[in-house]
Amino acid sequence: MALKTISAKAAAALDKELMSSGGFSIDQLMELAGLSVSQAVYHVHPPNKGRRILVACGPGNNGGDGLVAARHLCHYGYQPTVYYPKRSKNELYQRLSKQLEDLNVPFTDDFPTALSSTDHIVDAIFGFSFSGEVREPFPAVIQALEETKLPITSVDAPSSWNIEDGPPGSGVGSTFHPAVLVSLTAPKPLVKHFRGRHFIGGRFVAPSIALKYDFDVPQYSGIDQVVEVPTSGNKL
Amino acid sequence: MALKTISAKAAAALDKELMSSGGFSIDQLMELAGLSVSQAVYHVHPPNKGRRILVACGPGNNGGDGLVAARHLCHYGYQPTVYYPKRSKNELYQRLSKQLEDLNVPFTDDFPTALSSTDHIVDAIFGFSFSGEVREPFPAVIQALEETKLPITSVDAPSSWNIEDGPPGSGVGSTFHPAVLVSLTAPKPLVKHFRGRHFIGGRFVAPSIALKYDFDVPQYSGIDQVVEVPTSGNKL
């Protein structure tokens, strides 16, 4: 049975509800989202498979999740490098960056060089609010991610994919197929085109909220903040 | 070798520094603290040893850590009940309570009845900022915790203990010896009187901060947010 998905519009409404009547702050949600991502990375690529990890962060919330994940990965013993070319002026993102600087995590503006000296990659460039064209400087970054043979973990969506329809028909991102996807709270419709290992993260959703938005809270195990689920794309 | 400890004054300065130049918000720190506590409880008392857990929350930050822990415990499959008689009017605590209400976690004002129908207890009443007398309605609660044979996990300090000197010489709390203690960021001097299982939580401290405040960042394992350490008290 395929997992239920939620549209970009529903995901935006869900976030808004969690942060109003749900009582969550964005700090809290982002902390739990980034923690989920870090746990999926640890599960798929434990540090003994290579400690160097390049975390590519976009300008919005997806990038913030990446900044949180990078911090947890650093505490787990990885050596993260952060590519964050379009830094948000929002104070939350500045604080998340400061937390990384205090851990001596390097920030780089040179994506190709960073890519040539890493063991795996976290793609936290665009999330469910992405639509339209990939803007500068990200087209070259997405293209490099398409071409690399290194394993990539995408946060919520493979960056450049349309949230409903999956990979673009042509151009940048049309052949981008990351090894791992971590869907946050619920998978988005694009998962039907995804062929890698699929995790769901965000172990904070009340059953009543999942019911309202018509998705399933997956069966997490133990104290895990992520759970691996069958990949829809394999079944097409 | 005994673990280095930090005084109540140093712990307050550390919190202040983390939340100013360190870039952390209180939401974020409380989320990670409560998560640590929930993981220690899971480790010591997995749900198959009894799902009913009574979380006793005080009026300040220690109580907030308890509210966060209760939420994670609920997601792990426990059945928490929260005793929170002196609710803070601060909006953060109201939001943490709302998150529990949305999970249908019951709040009770009747501590003795709740105590008679639980499998274990989290003591999140007072933390490192406690000093002086135990105020109403908590003397009877501490006394009940002293008398129960159920296992108790205390957050940062066994409630009523003096942060430097340990259990009071007489009266309420003088014979309070919880089974488990979760020290947050670093143990407080009272640990030299503690005889149970000791965990350290708070896997977010940069080594430079630990150096400045002269404590050790313990060796966490894997993705764990807590680590068990030898009990100082056993060595006295």
For B176-227, what is each residue's pLDDT tens digit? 999 999 999 999 999 999 999 999 999 999 999 999 999 999 999 999 999 9
CA distance A85 to chain B (A): 20
Q: Which residues of A touch B25 (CB under 8 A)?
A: 25, 27, 92, 95
Q: Which residues of A touch B22 (CB under 8 A)?
A: 98-99, 102
Report d(CA A233, CA B58) in Å as an integer.
49
Q: Which two tokens stand for residue A83?
A: 């590519």
Q: Is the pLDDT of residue A230 over 60?
A: yes
Q: How confident is the model at residue B1 (pLDDT cuts 50, 70, 90)?
A: low
- Cβ distance of A24 and B102 shorter than 8 Å: no
Residues A48-102 have pLDDT tens digits of: 999 999 999 999 999 999 999 999 999 999 999 999 999 999 999 999 999 999 9
CA distance A58 to chain B (A): 20
Q: How confident is the model at residue A126 (pLDDT cuts 50, 70, 90)?
A: very high
Averaged pLDDT, B22-26: 97
- Cβ distance of A38 and B223 shorter than 8 Å: yes
Residues B142-185 have pLDDT tens digits of: 999 999 999 999 999 999 999 999 999 999 999 999 999 999 99
Q: Which residues of A touch B38 (CB under 8 A)?
A: 223
Burial of A177 from C-beta contacts in 10 A (0-12 / 13-18 / 19+): middle
Q: What is the pLDDT of residue B236?
A: 39
Q: Is the pLDDT of residue A232 over 80?
A: no
Q: What is the pLDDT of residue B232?
A: 67
Q: Is the pLDDT of residue B235 over 80?
A: no
Report d(CA A178, CA B107) in Å as an integer.
45
Q: Report the mean per-residue pLDDT for chain A.
A: 96
Q: Is the pLDDT of residue A236 over 80?
A: no
Sheet holding A226-229, edge to edge: A107-108, A79-83, A52-57, A120-124, A152-155, A180-184, A197-201, A226-229
Q: Is B62 annotated as a binding residue?
A: yes
Q: Is the pLDDT of residue A235 over 60?
A: no
Among candidates B32, B75, B102 on the partner chain, residue whose Cβ is nearest the Cβ of A203: B75
CA distance B105 to chain A (A): 11
Residues A195-211 have pLDDT tens digits of: 999 999 999 999 999 99
Q: How confident is the model at residue A231 (pLDDT cuts 50, 70, 90)?
A: confident
Which sequence spans correspond to the domains of chain A? 8-235
Quote the percentage of chain A above a pLDDT of 70: 97
Architecture of domain A8-235: 3-Layer(aba) Sandwich (3.40)
Q: Which residues of B touch A97 (CB under 8 A)?
A: 23
Q: Which two tokens stand for residue B50?
A: 């009894």
Residues A163-191 have pLDDT tens digits of: 999 999 999 999 999 999 999 999 999 99
- Cβ distance of B25 and A204 shorter than 8 Å: no
Q: How confident is the model at residue B3 (pLDDT cuts 50, 70, 90)?
A: confident
Q: What are phi and psi of A56, to 5 degrees?
A: -95, 120
Q: What is the pLDDT of residue B55?
A: 98
Closest CA to A123 of A63, A163, A170: A63
Q: How confident is the model at residue A234 (pLDDT cuts 50, 70, 90)?
A: very low
CA distance A225 to chain B (A): 10
Architecture of domain B8-231: 3-Layer(aba) Sandwich (3.40)
Residue A73: other Cβ atoms inside 10 A: 26
Among candidates A23, A76, A95 on the partner chain, residue whose Cβ is nearest the Cβ of B25: A95
Q: What are phi and psi of B181, to 5 degrees?
A: -130, 130
Q: How many residues does chain B have?
A: 236
Helices and strands (H, E) in chain B, number of each type: 7, 8
Q: How far is CA A233 from CA A131, A162, A175, A186, A230, in A?
A: 21, 15, 15, 16, 9
Give the ipTM: 0.96
Q: Report the mean per-residue pLDDT for chain B.
A: 96
Report d(CA A220, CA B223) in Å as an integer.
16
Residues A29-61 have pLDDT tens digits of: 999 999 999 999 999 999 999 999 999 999 999
Q: What is the pLDDT of residue B231?
A: 84
Count Cβ neighbours within 10 Å for each residue of A202-229 and write b for 16 or more, e otherwise: bbbbbeebbeebebebbebeebbbbbbb
CA distance B65 to chain A (A): 13
Q: Give the residue from chain A lying closest to B77, CA to CA.
A: A222
Q: Is the pLDDT of residue B26 over 90?
A: yes
- Cβ distance of A75 and B38 shorter than 8 Å: no
Q: Helix/strand/coil (H, E, C) string of A127-165? A: CCCCCCCCCCCHHHHHHHHHHCCCCEEEECCCCCCECCC
Q: What is the pLDDT of residue A1?
A: 57
- Cβ distance of A99 and B32 shorter than 8 Å: no
Binding-site residue positions of A: 61-65, 123, 127-133, 156, 159
Report d(CA A51, CA A42) in Å as an integer.
10
- Cβ distance of A204 and B27 shorter than 8 Å: no
Q: What is the pLDDT of residue B31?
A: 98
Q: Which residues of A touch B210 (CB under 8 A)?
A: none
